[in-house]
Amino acid sequence: MQHSFIYGLYDSAEPGVIRYVGKTYCIKDRIRDHLSATTRGERTHKARWIRLVLRAGRSVRHVVLGFATSNDEANDLERHFIKLMRSIGMDLTNATDGGDGQSPGYRPSAEARAKVGAAHRGRKRSPESVRKTAEAHRGRKRSPETCARISAAKMGKPGHAISPATRAKLAVSNRKPKPYMAAINSAREYTPELRARMRAAQLRRYEHDRLLSAETPQGVM
């Protein structure tokens, strides 16, 4: 049986002041998600508060407020603690009163997955739906734990074998100069605005990697 955690986030400089209440099945992964979304520029009250804390050289920490054995119970407890914290004067950054959807990290049973799969089998997604999904996932970075799980799941599974002759052809092809790339780059006008956007994107990637490597160990204490 999976257990949900109801947790509160607080500034390491103000351990008695809860600023966000949430629910999850894995607190460590959930904290990392909060930090990752913040560094990607998420525009929410919670994300702005986290950015202020990190820029001040402090860390975001958590406290477990309660446990639940079902998603419905987790939703009820989340609503309860949000209402409780607000009633005692906590300035929460939650955008809602809680109890919204599944707990992050929820893993449905094999029977539930089979029902969902049967319901969606044969359905085709529209180009608009595919585009929206791609945009929602663009820029997201998998956590080391997620990468390790994917690697472990694929390990030992037979893949598509590439013959030595095909490998040699691919190597020759990759070494050939690609005139079309030179044409694309020469035709591209690197305006000051474009250069500024490219620099900003590089800085965001650098800040994202720095915070994940430096802040996450403190944030999950």
Q: Which residues contact 36 (CB under 8 A, 6 or more apart)?
A: 140, 141, 143, 208, 212
Q: What is the pLDDT of residue 59?
A: 92
| Contact criterion met (CB below 8 Å) for 98 and 82 | yes
Q: Kindly tell me if the per-residue pLDDT of 34 is higher than 60.
A: yes
pLDDT in tens, 119-153: 767 777 778 877 877 777 777 777 777 777 777 77
**β partners of residue 18:** 10
Q: Token digits for 207?
A: 């800040």
| Contact criterion met (CB below 8 Å) for 104 and 33 | yes
Q: What is the pLDDT of residue 51?
A: 92
Q: What is the pLDDT of residue 117?
A: 72
For the whole model, what pTM was predicted?
0.48
> What domains are there in the chain, each with its CATH number?
4-118+204-219 (3.40.1440)
How far apart CA 85 and CA 97 sit, in angstroms, is: 11
CA–chain centroid gap for 84, Å, is 28
Mean pLDDT of 149-168: 73
Range picked from 30-39, 52-61, 96-105, 137-146 for highest mean pLDDT: 52-61
